[in-house]
Structure 1
């Protein structure tokens, strides 16, 4: 494995964002770090794709999907492979990350963001969801931090709390779902979803990360067909 080299760096009110390049054999790998903490890379993308795949399986008509957190674009890419998706709103708070995908610093970014179904908002996902008409989305995917127990940014804590998740239910159309990604098992998160949604489940997602076997977790809250007009 080659020594990582910095590709791009940016500062924001949330701190430092760094994109690095390394080589695993002959393969180029991009790695994203926030305030020195590993966030994701292009070598292991199964958890980002699983977030989309398992979420899309949770609803029969995911016509309008919201993805909270652009990252390196792999969750969005997986969402767009589903022909049922007519519109995908992506909310990313870091302008630099959006720029790196738009300008090709992340090579697959320009083609991904050119998909006409994509609406990209540079904003706080909590603010976007709080201002949304009710209901708006068939499916909401939240991958904005490492989960409530391993926050990179303390300000993201509210997204995992009971009040926010209960209020989020009203932005989801009947038959839809919310799916939350976490780096660790979080029984409290399952409890919040169980209290606010008709059904909730915890899904184990095994991954191999930088040569280590790890487990990530997906938390799903389902809204039933409760008679509200879609």
Structure 2
């Protein structure tokens, strides 16, 4: 497999790289090049294995009766957002992303499917730390807050993200939710401490196991939900 760097940027949080995986010349067979996103040298996601992003969005949307206004914390390569937008009940999807470069790559077509996604009139892109964006949002303005910033509290992209799983931030999230609203937090592994903290803030909590098929193997992920 050959790798071709498409874009790179140094940010306050480190290095963000978008690269393309291509079959080596001696390998045959059709297939579009695969885009891969890496942060500080660590694989974040690609454009092939998107089952987990789809499962996250689908399961989160099922947690509320009327997800008219949704916040997605974390843009990534846009697949969680795309699945949210596929739900006809969604009228507004506010996507919060801390890396301006990633938003720019989506807008200018460096990520080819980006412009069409961002052209959806329901999309609102907020370039900010999700904690700041939530703190500045109007009270009772959203039905669902979906956090796809890390792979859960045990797999942080940046150490500072630990605050997103603590009580003060979750209380800020509760404040922006409408009656019947919920927060849904993605995790690659069981996170009992997160579940306990959600229980301190929200009226009802639950851990939803998600079975996902990745690269011909079965994986179990978790969605931690707090509801009003």
- Shorter-chain TM-score: which interval? over 0.9
Partner of 1:7: 6
> Normalization by structure 2: what TM-score?
0.92
Cα distance in 2 between the residues matched to 1:137 and 1:184: 27
1:64 has 2:69 as partner: yes
Counterpart among 24, 34, 46 of residue 29 in structure 1: 34
Query: Equivalents in 1 of 2:216, 2:12: separation in Å?
Result: 33
Q: The residue matched to 1:60 in structure 2 has which SS?
A: coil
Task: Give the gaps of 5 or more residues in structure 2.
Answer: 24-28
1:18 Cα offset (Å): 0.7
Q: Is contact 2:58–2:83 with CA below 8 Å preserved after alignment?
A: yes
Provide the alpha-carbon RMSD of the alignment.
1.5
Q: CA deviation at 1:142?
A: 0.6
Q: Does 1:44 align with 2:53?
A: no
1:197 CA drift (Å) = 1.2
Name the residue aligned to 1:156. 161
Structure 1 residue 59 displacement after superposition: 0.9
Alignment counterpart, residue 151 of structure 2, candidates 134, 146, 151: 146
Q: Is 1:136 aligned to residue 141 of structure 2?
A: yes
Tell me, in whole angstroms, the C-alpha distance in 1 between the residues paired with 2:208 and 2:102.
28
1:214 and 1:158 mapped to 2: Cα distance? 27
1:117 aligns with 2:116: no
TM-score (norm 1): 0.91
2: CA distance, partners of 1:217 / 1:125: 21
The answer as to whether partners of 1:166 and 1:193 remain within 8 angstroms in 2 is: no
Q: Matches of 2:63 and 2:152 in 1, distance apart?
A: 21
Deviation of 1:209 after TM superposition, in Å, equals 4.1
Deviation at 1:84, TM superposition (A): 1.1
Does 1:169 find its partner at 2:168?
no
Size of the aligned set, in residue pairs, is 222
Cα deviation, 1:65-119, whole Å, max 9, x if unaligned, reads: 1110010000110111111111111110001111111111111100000000101
Give structure 1 stretches of 5+ with no counterpart: 224-230
Q: Counterparts in 2 of 1:89-104, with a 5 A limit?
A: 89-104=94-109
| Equivalent position SS for 2:121 | coil
> What is residue 55 of structure 1 aligned with on the other side?
60
Q: Secondary structure at the match of 2:34?
A: strand
Of 25-34 and 137-146, more deviation after overlay is shown by: 25-34
What's 1:18 paired with?
A: 17
